[in-house]
Amino acid sequence: MGTVHLNVMLHDLLLIFIMVLVMILMMIGAVLFYGFYQYKSLKNKREWESLIDVRVSDAIVFSDEAGSSETEQFQSHSAGGSFRNLLLEKLVSSKKKFSGMAQDEIQRLFVNYGLYKEALENLNSKKPYVIAGGIQEVTAMKITESLPKVKQYLKHPAAQVYNEAQYAMVVFDGFNGLTFLSELETPLSDWQQLRLLGSLQKIPEVTYMSVETWLQSGNLSVVVFTLKLIKKFQMLSCYDQVKKLLDHSSENVRINAVQTLQILENDRTSEHFMETYPLQPVKVQLAVLKAMKHSNDKGYYDFFRLQLIHQQDVSLKMEAAQALFALGFSHSLTEIAENNAASQQIREIVKHVLQEKI
């Protein structure tokens, strides 16, 4: 019985050993196959990129409408799905780099090769990064019929998707594309705000109602963006609405309101700054001093001198001294620096500002 039991154990161990060995060999084979596949894909991509770069360059330089510079090698690949997706990707990136006639030639290549299908397929994908790429593609290639689909993605859960949808709406529809701001709950990043502002070249004359609504939004980033919008296009009619935001609960909103009032400056701005200054926290007071400094109004001399001498916060003292220098009162700063009756702190601040500016 003992011998039989031993033989059974040896047989089982042999089977286990064989199974483990087979699994190891399968894993090695899978790794080798995957590595070869990756190498082949990378090699193909490099070759395809080279073909596409030449094709795009020739189209831009020679403006060939009929594809006269198309090589047999390029033509043989042009029907493949992976190649066409790479071609679409390269056309989109190239179009962002060029302007004028070059953009027109890239657009012509897009039309000639019928890449609408690939762009729309990407737009209808289930993967967020593919959808975002699809939105970029239909936007860059001006496929206006895709706008209703793009609009649906404004409320997509993935940030990369709804950010691209927001940008696309503005590119396609200008100021009217900003209507999503009225219902926006997610924050607009600083980068996204720059993109949206950069894509706007002009605004319609009747915008007051929309802007007023956005200034009252519970989404702080929408309020900040709207202030930047008002500042960029110098929307003077919004002055009073902006002034109200000096009492906003957010310091960041108040700071942006101050900067916007500086751009919208009128004969009441000086009075409004002087009134709000003592009521504000230090960061907002600093923004007010900077705005007053940039106004180049020498009438602020007494106010700035008062802040330099009696203000407790060092950053405000420093800003007041810089303002006095900027307004041309360097002689007054020199007198303060040489006056032994002034505190050591004030004289050091003034000397630092004078040395820095000189």
Do 123 and 150 contact (CB within 8 A), yes or no?
yes
CA distance 191 to 199: 12
Q: Return the pLDDT at 29.
A: 76
Q: Return the pLDDT at 66.
A: 46
Task: Please indicate, yes or no, if residue 311 is contained in any of the structural domains.
Answer: yes
Q: Are residues 268 and 223 in the same domain?
A: yes
Q: State if pTM tops 0.85.
A: no
Domain end point (choices 242, 276, 294): 294
Q: Are residues 265 and 277 in the same domain?
A: yes
* Number of C-beta neighbours around residue 6 at 10 A: 10
Domain end point (choices 118, 150, 184): 184
Q: Return the pLDDT at 256.
A: 98
Task: Please indicate, yes or no, if residue 4 is contained in any of the structural domains.
Answer: no
Q: What is the DSSP string of 71-107?
A: -HHHHHHTT-HHHHHHHHHHHHHHHHH--THHHHHHH
Which of 195, 159, 190 has the alpha carbon at shortest distance from 178? 195
Q: Distance of CA 34 to CAs 27, 28, 43, 68, 298, Å?
A: 10, 10, 14, 38, 73
Q: Are residues 312 and 282 in the same domain?
A: no
Q: Are residues 287 and 237 in the same domain?
A: yes
Task: Please indicate, yes or no, if residue 117 is contained in any of the structural domains.
Answer: yes
Which of 314, 319, 315 has the alpha carbon at shortest distance from 304? 319
CA distance 356 to 188: 37
Q: Return the pLDDT at 24.
A: 84
Q: Return the pLDDT at 284.
A: 97
CA distance 53 to 87: 9
Q: Return the pLDDT at 320.
A: 93
CA distance 187 to 104: 35
Task: Please indicate, yes or no, if residue 23 is contained in any of the structural domains.
Answer: no
Q: Are residues 146 and 102 in the same domain?
A: yes
Q: Return the pLDDT at 56.
A: 81
Task: Please indicate, yes or no, if residue 315 is contained in any of the structural domains.
Answer: yes
DSSP state of 70: -
What is the number of structural domains in the chain?
3
Residues of the chain above pLDDT 70, percent: 91
CA distance 334 to 266: 32
CA distance 180 to 178: 5
Domain end point (choices 255, 270, 294): 294
Q: Are residues 312 and 217 in the same domain?
A: no
Q: Are residues 172 and 259 in the same domain?
A: no
Task: Please indicate, yes or no, if residue 163 is contained in any of the structural domains.
Answer: yes
Q: Are residues 180 and 208 in the same domain?
A: no
Beta strands in the chain (DSSP E): none
Q: Are residues 92 and 176 in the same domain?
A: yes
Q: Are residues 176 and 95 in the same domain?
A: yes
Q: Distance of CA 24 to CAs 111, 175, 191, Å?
A: 50, 61, 49
Q: What angle separates helix 220-232 from helix 251-263, to the nearest 10 degrees?
A: 10
CA distance 29 to 296: 75
Q: Are residues 230 and 173 in the same domain?
A: no
Q: Are residues 280 and 301 in the same domain?
A: no
Q: Return the pLDDT at 340.
A: 79
CATH of the domain at 266: 1.25.10.10
Expressed as residue numbers, the domain containing 222 is 203-294
Low-confidence stretches of the chain (pLDDT < 70) are 1-8, 11, 35-44, 63-71, 76, 206, 357-358
Q: What angle separates helix 314-326 from helix 301-310, to the nearest 10 degrees?
A: 150
Q: Return the pLDDT at 4.
A: 60
Task: Please indicate, yes or no, if residue 263 is contained in any of the structural domains.
Answer: yes
Q: Return the pLDDT at 65.
A: 52
Task: Please indicate, yes or no, if residue 55 is contained in any of the structural domains.
Answer: no
Q: Return the pLDDT at 25.
A: 81
